Amino acid sequence: MKEMKLLENINELEQIKNSLFQKDFLLTWEKSDRELKLILEIAIILKQLREQNISPRVFDSGLAVSIFRDKSTRTRFSYASAANLLGLTVQDMDEEKSQISHGETVRETANMISFLTETIGIRDDMYLGEGNKYMREVADALDEGFQNGVLPSRPGIVNLQCDMDHPTQSLADLLHLQQHFGSLDELRGKKMVMSWAYSPSYGKPLSVPQGIIALMSRYGMNIELAYPEGYELIPEIVKVAKTNSRESGGTFNINNSMSDAVKDADIVYPKSWAPFHIMQQRTELLKQGDKDGLLNLEKTCLAQNAKHKNWEYDMQKMNLTKDGIALYMHCLPADISGVSCKLGEVSAGVFEKYRLLTYNEAGYKPYIIAAIMFTNKFEKPDQVLKKIIEKNHSRIL
């Protein structure tokens, strides 16, 4: 019965043309609804294969290179899990141990790490205006190497978080919503609140809230972006969300009160971020290596954050949501009041109530990343998946 359902899901893929083949995945708003649907469907199928003990290894050898220019737990392990699921070996590129520290260029490095590489995952969210730009510089170098016969094949690039977007996170969140509510169609008309929340730290990237509003606004939801005055996101990405909402039949609203924003909400995503203008200043100071300037900026920002300690998602605010049980979401790790900090983004009571659900939310990310790799490498993913079923090789003997 399970195998029949699996085959039905694979057969449905025949109707979706794979225009993701040999294309990098850098921003969700560069992809069509059909392309995103293909990612979600293949992620579900890969999850089903593993649950049915069928190995989806499609590579006998090859590298999946990871370049993390910022700290990571979930995304780092999700990328490694996804690569291993498909049969690739992960090689983390430590820039401090490479010739980059001796002045090697991005163009040279990109080719040197790619001779037997199938995919490159990059996380670069530290510098506003630089992360996504760096990924595209790597992409241009790979194009040149492949077109001139230096590389036998062109590795695909997966954005594992940049200054603009966190596509594997937002797609994992979307898959979580799809599974929680039953389908993407069921999301239409739902109220989703993407809210700033207090944190005792500063400098958190903008990419998660930007990725959420830019993606979820495509599915007819009523998006409420909430933050205190002065905590704006990148204006161009807010415009993307507004356009998506208008085209999908949903709504988009900005609210400067968390309590007001969460009223009758179906989904609440409280997450701290640094204001756009602060990230601009921080980027310039980082480039200049101005340690004193960074310390002064941090003090200023922490003092500003401290004015908004009431922006904590607690039981009182949760009770304002639809039936008092709106789905709580977070990319993790959350700043949990009384647990990981004295006062933070979410109260211990609310987080504990939804803790296992947030783990489930995170658990979709390896499959999303694997699906992105899969569609990049196989022009007709349905046929490859059918071969996997026919082979029926057990993952665990």
Domains of the chain: 2-165+365-391 (3.40.50.1370), 169-362 (3.40.50.1370)
Residue type at position 304: Q
The burial class, CB within 10 Å (0-12 / 13-18 / 19+), for 287 is exposed
pLDDT for residue 320: 98
- Give which of 216, 179, 237, 208 is closest to 330, Cα–Cα: 208
For residue 281, give the H/E element and its range: helix 276-288
Place of tokens 């647990």: 339
Low-confidence ranges of the chain (pLDDT < 70): 1-2
Other beta carbons less than 10 A from residue 129's beta carbon: 13
Residue type at position 205: P
Strands 191-195 and 267-270: parallel
Burial of 195-207, coded b for 16+ CB within 10 Å and e otherwise, reads: bbbbbbebbbbbb
Q: Is the dihedral of CA 373, 375, 377, 380 positive or negative?
A: positive
> Using an 8 Å Cβ cutoff, are 78 and 64 in contact?
no
Cβ-proximal residues to 386 (8 Å cutoff; 6+ apart), any chain: 7, 10
pLDDT for residue 293: 94
Q: What is the pLDDT of residues 6-35, one digit of tens each?
A: 888 899 998 899 999 999 999 999 999 999
- What value does the mean pLDDT of the chain take? 95
Percent of the chain residues past pLDDT 70, beyond the cut: 99
- Give which of 274, 259, 173, 254 is closest to 216, Cα–Cα: 173
Q: Rounded distance, CA 82 to CA 138, Å? A: 21
Q: What is the pLDDT of residues 196-224, one digit of tens each?
A: 999 999 879 999 999 999 999 999 999 99
Cβ-proximal residues to 293 (8 Å cutoff; 6+ apart), any chain: 285
Q: What is the pLDDT of residues 298-344, one digit of tens each?
A: 999 999 999 999 999 999 999 999 999 999 999 999 999 999 999 99
Strands 267-270 and 346-347: unpaired
pLDDT for residue 287: 86
pLDDT for residue 1: 59
What would you report as the CA-atom Rg of the chain, rounded to the nearest whole angstrom?
Answer: 21
- Give which of 312, 303, 362 is closest to 341, Cα–Cα: 312
Q: What do you get for the CA distance between the two ends of the chain, in Å?
A: 21
Q: Rounded distance, CA 298 to CA 75, Å? A: 26
Give 213's Cβ-side CA count (13 Å radius): 32
**Could you give the residue ranges of the DSSP H alpha helices within the chain?**
2-12, 33-51, 74-86, 106-112, 131-147, 167-181, 207-216, 235-248, 258-261, 276-288, 291-305, 315-318, 348-363, 365-377, 381-391
- Give which of 136, 112, 143 is closest to 122, Cα–Cα: 136
pLDDT for residue 95: 80
The verdict on pTM exceeding 0.85 is: yes
List residues bridging with 123 in a β-sheet.
68
